[in-house]
Amino acid sequence: MTQHAAKMYCEWLSAKTGRYYRLPTEAEWEYACRAGSNTAYSFGDDAEQLDEYACYIDNSENDLGDAGYAKVGTKKPNAWGLCDMHGNVAEWVLDALDPGFYAKSADAVVDNPLCRPTELYGRIVRGGSWDDGPEMLRSAARRVSDPDWKQQDPQFPQSIWYHTDARFVGFRIVRPLHEPTDEEKKKFASDKYQSEP
């Protein structure tokens, strides 16, 4: 599914429940993934332990010989009880890729930074997936969306809702402890670029 579809799900869920939900920022996602660690993975630096914590390219084959995601929670959680932060499906965050974004604010304390997208592509997914090797499952690893994720989409214009060639992408949602103001919600709202194919 596209980031747009994930955001629309959050809007639907918010309306349905009366509670505010959204995708995490990249900073929030990494904070949750690390769970207080500063190692390559939330459980340490040893990639040999990935089988215990992640569904990834080395262990994602099912009984029929097909590779794919696993049921959530089949692997060990991180220190904060969060499952599948490494592998299974790569997860949308709200940010776009700007290689110098964090360097720009290095001298200042920024509360939950967000690199707002200004284009349809170049948006970030985190965590790696069932189709990735250990390097892409590191807590700091990121992947950037690409037009190739819709290569087989037969529609014209192409769908804003799904990626035919990115079955490895999913999402995780957050609900803030305190209901944000309308102004704060605008910071995390969908952007005009997402309605483009």
For 2-34, what is each residue's pLDDT tens digit?
A: 999 999 999 999 999 999 999 999 999 999 999
Terminal-residue alpha carbon distance, the chain: 13
- The CATH T-level fold of domain 3-191 is paralog of FGE (formylglycine-generating enzyme) (3.90.1580)
Give the pLDDT of residue 145. Answer: 95
Distance from C-alpha of 154 to C-alpha of 162, rounded to nearest angstrom: 12
SS3 content of the chain, % helix, strand, coil (to 5): 25, 15, 60
Which residues fall within 8 angstroms of residue 122, CB to CB, at 6 or more apart?
A: 96, 97, 144, 145
Give the pLDDT of residue 195. Answer: 57
Q: What is the pTM of this model?
A: 0.90
Q: E strands, the chain, where? A: 90-96, 123-126, 142-144, 169-171
Cα–Cα separations (whole angstroms), residue 99 to 102, 103, 121, 145, 147: 8, 8, 14, 15, 19
Task: Write down the domain spans for the chain.
Answer: 3-191
The CA angle 1-197-185, to the nearest 5 degrees, is 65
- Laid out side by side, the sheet with 90-96 consists of 142-144, 123-126, 90-96, 169-171
- Residues of the chain scoring pLDDT < 70: 63-65, 105-110, 194-197
Give the pLDDT of residue 9. Answer: 95
State whether the Cα torsion 5-11-13-15 is positive or negative. Answer: negative
